[in-house]
Amino acid sequence: MEEPVLGDVAAQRERLAEGLRAYGASFTELGRRFAARLGVHSTDAFALLEIASAAESGVPLSPALLSRRISLSSGAMTALLNRLEQAGYVTRTRGHTDRRIVTLHSSAQVKELAEEFFAPVNERQDTILAQYPPELLHQLETVLAQLCSTLDAQLAPRQEDI
């Protein structure tokens, strides 16, 4: 009797995965168009979005953490940050207590451009989300976080890889 339940769960997982892949593809295309608007590489635009997101959540973002988030080597990250700094999109600041710690900040110009660019899609998504009860959305947040943790666990370096 358990097999049909597991089969249903596997089918549901596949449908959810397909929906997430489609959302990810659309998000990637939106990021590519944002990059074109700024006149930067798409990787640079995704870095800017990560920096802005970290600032919004109040979590300091270092170059090392950013390089892990967008999967760049330290050399490639340095080149990316140099480009963004020269364009006036990013600043690097040193910590007050530990001067070795560098924190990344996006410029006011980037924040304005991002808000202007993403406002229409954010408004449409807010309209859709407003149709659902907060409890359901909270459950969805929990499910997404748990699904992400399974991927993160798979992607974590194994002892034999180190």
Average confidence score pLDDT of the chain: 90
Mean pLDDT on 23-27: 95
The pLDDT assigned to 1 comes to: 46
pLDDT in tens, 93-152: 987 777 778 899 999 999 999 999 999 999 999 999 999 999 999 999 999 999 999 998
Write down the pTM of the prediction: 0.81
The pLDDT assigned to 12 comes to: 92
Q: What's at 61, amino acid-wise?
A: L
Q: What is the DSSP string of 42-101?
A: HHHHHHHHHHHHHHHHT----HHHHHHHTT--HHHHHHHHHHHHHTTSEEEEE-SS-TT-
Domains and CATH numbers, the chain: 6-156 (1.10.10.10)
pLDDT in tens, 49-78: 999 999 889 888 999 999 999 999 999 999
User: Of all residues in the chain, what percent carry a pLDDT higher than 90?
Assistant: 77
